[in-house]
Structure 1
Amino acid sequence: MTLATDQNSGARPLSGVSKALEGIRELVLDHWAMLVRHHIRGAQSLLTPILINTLPSFYANILQALTPGYPRDDATSHSSAASAHGGERAHMTDYGAEQLIHEYQLLQEAIREVSAAQGVAISCAEWLIIERSINAAIRESVRAFTSIHEQLRHKVAAALSHDMRTPLAVIANGAQLIEVAEDLAQARRLGEKIGANALRLETMVGEVLDALTAHNGARLPLRLTRFDMRDLIVEVQREFADRYPAALEVAAPGITGWWCRETLRRALENLVSNAIKYGDGGPIRIELTEAHGNIVLTVHNTGTPLGAEQRGRIFDYLRRERQVQTQGWGIGLPFVKQAAESHGGSVAVDSSAATGTTFLIDVPVDCRPYVDAGGRAAPHGSPALPATGRQPALE
Structure 2
Amino acid sequence: MTDKIIGLANADPEQLSDLTRAVLALRPKVVDAWKSNVQFELGRADELEPPILENTMPSFHDSLALLLTPAFHGRGEVDIAVVAAEHGGERARLTRYDTTTLIHELQIFRRVFFQALHDQDVQLTPVQSNAIHVSIDSAIRDSANAFAGVQAALREQFAAAMVHDLRTPLANAHLAAELILRAATLPQAQGLARRVLQNTARIETMARELLDNLLFVGGEGLPLRIEQFDMAALATETVEHAATFHGIDIRLEAVAAVGHWCRGSMQRALENLVSNAIKHGEPAALVQLWVEKTASRIKVSLHNEGKPIPIEDTESLFQMYHRAEAARSESIGWGVGLPFVRQVAESHGGSVLVSSTSEGGTTFSIDMPLDARPFVDAPMVG
Provide the TM-score with structure 1 as the length reference.
0.46
| Bigger CA radius of gyration | 2
Which protein has the bigger helix share? 2
Provide the TM-score with structure 2 as the length reference.
0.48
The structure, 1 or 2, with the larger RCO (C-alpha pairs under 8 Å, 6+ apart) is: 1
